[in-house]
Each structure stands twice: as structure tokens, then as C-alpha cells.
Structure 1
């Protein structure tokens, strides 16, 4: 059974191009981990006016990428991205779950 998770994150102003560049060059081992953990589709959208990122994932099973924070590769990715995003003390991005209110 597949389900969707949506959440928002905050990019530091002025880092839009760098964020996109880093994701164009996403590490193959991170992609493999995400797919192996059941992430079937993962999209991130940027609201340039507010530097807010909106992420949507379709996953097989009960967990999302947000449950992979204990892995070495995800911790390295967080550290890599920490200079351009709002983060928690452990470098994980500050995320706010979003409630689905409509599906067509």
C-alpha cells in the first residue's frame, strides 16, 4: 500500500540556485537508500517569495524519508545542506508536516 507524506522546509534567502544545483547532483547512494526504503516518488517545490520548500513523497509502507535520520548517508546529506537551510541542532532540516485537505 502506498501513501503520501507532505512537509515544508525553509531555505535561507539567496540560496535557491545552490539548492537546485545540489539536488541535480544528488548522491547516487542517497537515491538508492531512499528507493530501497520505499520512497517511490519525491518532489520538492520552491516558493521563491518566501523561500519555503514544499516536499511531497509517495512511499510504499508506513515510513517516509523523515525516518532515515539515523543512517550515515542521511546525516552526511544533512551536514552538506545545513549551510543553506533552517536546521535543527543535529543538522536535520526543520520540517513541518502538512495536512492533506484535498485530492482529486
Structure 2
């Protein structure tokens, strides 16, 4: 199982709305993530907008590609794009660059 951690930056003025959107993620989006192989997916948000994401999957590239092929993800990404800083026209999913794991205690 591959463990993936990534960072993004949520715009300060949209933190409350970002939290509200994630308190009620669309059921079809949740189903699509699970079907695409995203497991133990968590997002952590710091007060300055730093967003830390974590997920487990067999193959991150394949799991991301599976989501890219869904209509629900295209809608979700379009709605979420305006929440993030420094994406320069890149969809939030495409900006999820995995961090290098340097330690793990199983």
C-alpha cells in the first residue's frame, strides 16, 4: 500500500467555506474516490490555510487517473479550484505533488 501526503494552500478568506464544503462532501464524490482506490483519505487544515492531505492507495497515479475520468470529479474540481492559492490554472488534483516519506513507524 502506498501512503501519499501532499500540501496545498487554501485562500485565507475562504477557510470557513472550504471547511463547510468538506463537512458535506457529495455522496457521489465519496463513492468515486473509494471506487478509484483512495483509502484512509484525510485532509487537515491549519488556520493559515496550509492544507495537508493524506491517503493510502495501491497506485497513486492509477488512482488519480481513475478520478480524472469521472464526471463528478470534474465538477468538484471546478468548484474547488477557486479555494486555492498558487495553482496557476492547474486543477487542485493535478497540484497534489506527493511529499517524500522519510520515516514510518508501522
TM-score bracket, normalised by the shorter chain, equals 0.7 to 0.9
Partner Cα distance (1:54, 1:76) in 2: 22
Q: Deviations over 1:48-97 (max 9, x none)?
A: 23x111100012x213653322322111001111221133425x113332
Q: Deviations over 1:14-55 (max 9, x none)?
A: 211111110111010010011111112101111223x11110
Task: Tell me which residue corresponds to 2:78.
Answer: 79
Between structures 1 and 2, the one with greater strand share: 1
Note the residue ranges of structure 1 that are not aligned, 5 or more in a row: none
Question: Segments of 4+ in structure 1 off by > 3 A?
Answer: none
What is the TM-score normalised by the length of structure 2? 0.81
Structure 1 partner of 2:34: 35
3-state SS, counterpart of residue 97 of structure 1: coil
What CA distance in whole angstroms lies between the structure 2 residues aligned with 1:66 and 1:54?
17
Runs of at least 5 residues in structure 2 that lack an aligned partner in the other structure: none
Asked if structure 1 preserves the Cα contact closer than 8 Å seen for 2:5 and 2:55, the reply is yes
Q: Give, in whole Å, the separation in 2 of the partners of 1:36 and 1:46.
A: 25
Considering fraction of residues, name the structure with more helix.
2
Alignment partner of 2:50 out of 38, 49, 52: 52
